[in-house]
Amino acid sequence: MPFSDYRTALVTGASTGIGAVIVERLAKQGLEVHAVARNGERLAELARTTGCVPHAVDITSTDALADLVRGLEIDVLVNNAGVSRTGNILTADEFAIDEQVAVNLQAVLHLVRLVMPGMVERDLGHIVNISSIAGVYNFGGNTIYHATKAAVHTLSRQLRVDGYGKRIRVTEICPGRVETEIFGRLLGDMDKAQREFYDGYESLKPEDIASAIEFAIESPRHMNVGHIEILPTFQVPGGLNFERRND
């Protein structure tokens, strides 16, 4: 569907990384982009360089989300915001579970609930959900993150059912490792994260994800790009462990 069919977009997690590049791309395509994140200072700079409309909002607040979209007609919704915590279910604390569920899943559900009915009424819209290979492959660590992204994976397919008969498209972008600040926030040390997760690796860049989103949005009206899995060439998911016990 040509970008000219759309007027507005809303992008969460917009202040840095993938979200900031998505805002820039959509603004260049002529859309009025509402950029949502908690960091007001970064959003102000993004607004200066892209012309986006900044909203410093905590997306874990359902009331704040309702206030945010009240009166807006959003044609393209990009659910990009996400958080992760180290450890599995055996080491997770209450905060790790509640925060990841609130940001990675609850906010996505509420934004879709608030925005999608308008798309149905106008018979026009595109929802883009950023999930992760953690939602479709099992590997050690970050168990709650895996669970929330698996829910986003299933939700993305279900939304196509909910919008059946309307010109509403849903795309799930399922990335492998992307060079963003997420690991730095996870470790609390950006330099350490750079050395451990990125130096020496050919990781994806935020621009790669934004390009995939552009492709999905500007595809012909009759075409819904439902799922795009993007990994670095040298990153391969899979493997099998089998514990042998003699007791």
Q: Which of 6, 145, 198, 201 is catalytic?
A: 145
DSSP of 156-210: HHHHHHHTTTSSEEEEEEEES-B-SSHHHHHHT-HHHHIIIIITTS--B-HHHHH
- φ and ψ of 227, to 5 deg: -150, 125
Return all residues near 162 (Cβ < 8 A) that are at least 6 apart.
116
Q: What is the DSSP letter of 87?
A: S
Please confirm, yes or no, whether 6 is among the known catalytic residues.
no
> For residue 13, which of 49, 44, 71, 58 has the smallest C-alpha distance?
58
- Distance CA(10)–CA(124), nearest Å, equals 15
- Distance CA(54)–CA(87), nearest Å, equals 34
List, by residue number, the catalytic residues.
145
